Amino acid sequence: MPKEKGNGWCYILPMDIEEKRYKEKEGQFSGRPISVWLDTTPETNYKSLPGDIETETLVIGAGIAGLTTAMLLVEEGKEIVLIDSKRIASDVTGNTTAKITSLHGLIYKELIEKHGEGKARLYGEAQQAGLEKIVEIIEKKKIDADLTREPAYTYTEKTENIEKLREEAKAVRKLGLPASFVRETPFPFMQGAVRFENQAQFHPRKYLLAMAKLISRKKNCRIYENIRALDIVENEENILVKTNKGNIKAKNVVLATHFPFYDKGRFYARLSPYRSNVIGVRVRENLPEGMFYSLDDNTHSFRTQMLKNGRILLVGGEDHPLGDGASNAVKYLRNVRSYAKERFSLRFTEYYWDNEDYATADGLPYIGLSPKSKKIYLACGFDGWGMTNGTVAGMVISDMILGKGNPWVSLFDPSRKDLVKSPGKIFYGGLNFLKSKRPGSVGRKFGLPTGFQRGEARIIEVGGKKVAVYRDKAGEIYKLSPKCTHMGCSVKWNNLEKTWDCPCHGSRFNYDGKVLHGPAVNDLKEEET
């Protein structure tokens, strides 16, 4: 039996508590289905919209991009309204792993090849500036966000990948970033790594909730939760944003919605969605400092986080398309756990969750003026590196609104011609703006195929029509159109989270059809068959 050293004495922990404690059935995973960040911070309670309102700048979306933009503008005395369709910082940023680093896998050699040394250098400088901006905000505002400065590593376990790391380190050093190639790392299973010094990690919700509290106390800032923006009408004078609770008139609008639902730049063809899994596990080892990202198969990464009751190891990976088969959501989590188990002495899994991000056509995020617009800004396409990129978005967009110069405006310009480098497909489909009704009310009239189990979901054909059906544990039946309300792609069942996910552009809907994640702004239509 393995032993763990405590304060001067040894105690014994049984092997594989997890297997003994939990019996995982099909579609189940042990642990608690919530991110460590959401679990260790209070829920927010900002008001809903009081009716139609006006403001100078409306920021839509309160993740790291939206909140940083709002904060930087409020600090400059601008009048801001910030709205979110959910509670603030509870979507992608509430489910991240929060490594704050400019070391983004093996990106720099590729950026140099694709965009040239000058643009690759600008990208690196922007990321370092984003990192330092977070540190500056935390220090200036005295925010307790568990910030620690740590090295970041991109590592390999395969000798054949070592050359790639050497080349990346060489490329990165040319750009003036704090990199070195190292053979010695804190873990014996690593064959080598690119190491960046003095990077950082934090608790993203402690950071953003404190930020929101600070700005909401100012006269020039109002925050509203549970307001979904539905559409935008842009005039010469101002912009009208229609929401599910009223209209908001603004001079400037910032779309910090992870995917710009108001799409004037064919982002449906330029942003590629993927999901990725994270587990929070307790291990026997005393783990060293650092954030680790593997360049080998299935892009695993890990870091630790100190909690009140000790350190937890966060392991992520298994990037995959949305709606990737009915049973795969759980399979991916199990793969992450196997990855962790093969390398660490696991005690048990405490948390698990999954999350989504978008890659762009040319490897750079889209930050700045929305195409064909003079007053609408957007920020998206952070491709797994939104702590720095989301902060950079705040810096770029606030400078643009303030009329200040910013060195990264043209690099991240959302109107740049990048589709030539894109492997992405263009998806078409009908828009469907139908309101959701209470589901299940006609479920009893609906004949299910024999053997349709409680807890099961399928897309079945009824009278030549496709229907997305979910039967919950109590036997209640939810029947929906499988046609995504964004552009009409067919949604697929996610058996872990009990959601219908759209593989085309990343929209997600609850089992009862409610929108959970855009670009869709309308719920799935209830089927009356």
The yes or no reply on residue 64 touching ligand FES (CB under 6 A) is: no
Selected binder of ligand FAD within 58, 111, 165, 256 (CB under 6 A) = 256
For residue 187, give the DSSP letter: S
Residue 101 Cβ, how far from ligand FES at the closest point, in Å?
A: 30
Per partner kind, with CB cut-offs from 5 to 8 A, the member of ligand FES, ligand FAD, none near residue 484 is: ligand FES
Q: How far is 82 from 398, CA to CA, in rounded Å? A: 14
Q: How far is 398 from 372, CA to CA, in rounded Å? A: 19
Residues 65/89, Cβ–Cβ less than 8 Å? no
Q: Which whole-number Å values give the CA distances from 158 to 155, 295, 342, 343, in the listed order?
A: 9, 9, 15, 15
Per partner kind, with CB cut-offs from 5 to 8 A, the member of ligand FES, ligand FAD, none near residue 359 is: none
Residues in Cβ contact with 351 at an 8 Å cutoff, skipping those fewer than 6 apart? 31, 32, 33, 34, 35, 36, 39, 278, 279, 280, 312
Selected binder of ligand FAD within 59, 65, 359, 392 (CB under 6 A) = 65
The yes or no reply on residue 387 touching ligand FAD (CB under 6 A) is: yes
Sites for ligand FAD among residues 505-524 (CB under 6 A) = 518, 521
Residue 274 Cβ, how far from ligand FES at the closest point, in Å?
A: 13
The answer for 117, left when phi > 0, alpha when psi is -120 to 50, beta otherwise, is alpha
Residue 1 has a CB neighbour count (10 Å cut-off) of 6
Residue 201 Cβ, how far from ligand FAD at the closest point, in Å?
A: 8
Residue 506 Cβ, how far from ligand FES at the closest point, in Å?
A: 6
Lay out the site mask for ligand FES across 485-504 (x = CB under 6 A, - = otherwise). Answer: -xxxx------------x-x
Residue 269 Cβ, how far from ligand FES at the closest point, in Å?
A: 10
Residue 259 Cβ, how far from ligand FES at the closest point, in Å?
A: 8
The yes or no reply on residue 507 touching ligand FES (CB under 6 A) is: yes
The yes or no reply on residue 46 touching ligand FAD (CB under 6 A) is: no
Point out which span in 10-18, 83-91, 471-479, 492-500 binds ligand FAD (CB under 6 A). 83-91
The yes or no reply on residue 484 touching ligand FES (CB under 6 A) is: yes
Q: State whether the Cα torsion 400-402-403-405 is positive or negative.
A: negative
The yes or no reply on residue 64 touching ligand FAD (CB under 6 A) is: yes
Per partner kind, with CB cut-offs from 5 to 8 A, the member of ligand FES, ligand FAD, none near residue 256 is: ligand FAD
Element (H, E) at 45: none
Instruction: Report phi then psi at 21, rounded to 5.
Output: -75, -40
The yes or no reply on residue 322 touching ligand FES (CB under 6 A) is: no
Q: 200: which 2 tokens?
A: 């950082």
Per partner kind, with CB cut-offs from 5 to 8 A, the member of ligand FES, ligand FAD, none near residue 190 is: none
| Residue of 214, 210, 380, 195 lying closest to 288 (CA atoms) | 195
Residue 94 Cβ, how far from ligand FAD at the closest point, in Å?
A: 7
Residues 156/191, Cβ–Cβ less than 8 Å? yes
Residue 450 Cβ, how far from ligand FAD at the closest point, in Å?
A: 39
Residue 251 has a CB neighbour count (10 Å cut-off) of 16
Q: Which amino acid is at 65?
A: A
Selected binder of ligand FAD within 35, 128, 156, 276 (CB under 6 A) = 276
Instruction: Report phi then psi at 174, rounded to 5.
Output: -60, -30
| Residue of 99, 117, 360, 76 lying closest to 220 (CA atoms) | 76
The yes or no reply on residue 260 touching ligand FES (CB under 6 A) is: no
Q: State whether the Cα torsion 378-383-386-389 is positive or negative.
A: negative
Residues 469/452, Cβ–Cβ less than 8 Å? yes
| Residue of 110, 134, 135, 133 lying closest to 123 (CA atoms) | 110
Lay out the site mask for ligand FAD across 438-457 (x = CB under 6 A, - = otherwise). Answer: --------------------
Residue 524 Cβ, how far from ligand FES at the closest point, in Å?
A: 10
Residue 460 Cβ, how far from ligand FAD at the closest point, in Å?
A: 30
Element (H, E) at 368: strand 366-369
Per partner kind, with CB cut-offs from 5 to 8 A, the member of ligand FES, ligand FAD, none near residue 520 is: ligand FES
Closer CB to ligand FAD, residue 38 or residue 307? 38
The yes or no reply on residue 360 touching ligand FAD (CB under 6 A) is: no
Q: 501: which 2 tokens?
A: 């996910």
Q: How far is 153 from 121, CA to CA, in rounded Å? A: 19
Residue 453 has a CB neighbour count (10 Å cut-off) of 11
The yes or no reply on residue 91 touching ligand FAD (CB under 6 A) is: yes
Residues 239/232, Cβ–Cβ less than 8 Å? yes
Q: 256: which 2 tokens?
A: 């910090």
Q: How far is 407 from 397, CA to CA, in rounded Å? A: 12
Residues 439/513, Cβ–Cβ less than 8 Å? yes
Point out which span in 204-212, 370-378, 394-402, 481-489 binds ligand FES (CB under 6 A). 481-489
Selected binder of ligand FAD within 386, 440, 503, 513 (CB under 6 A) = 386
Closer CB to ligand FES, residue 321 or residue 488? 488
Per partner kind, with CB cut-offs from 5 to 8 A, the member of ligand FES, ligand FAD, none near residue 92 is: ligand FAD
Sites for ligand FES among residues 417-476 (CB under 6 A) = 427, 429
Q: How far is 253 from 244, CA to CA, in rounded Å? A: 17
Per partner kind, with CB cut-offs from 5 to 8 A, the member of ligand FES, ligand FAD, none near residue 429 is: ligand FES
Selected binder of ligand FAD within 36, 58, 72, 98 (CB under 6 A) = 98
Sites of contact with ligand FES (CB under 6 A): 427, 429, 484, 486-489, 502, 504-507, 519-520
Sites of contact with ligand FAD (CB under 6 A): 60-66, 83-86, 91-93, 96-99, 228-229, 256-258, 261, 276, 278, 316, 355-357, 382, 384-388, 390, 518, 521
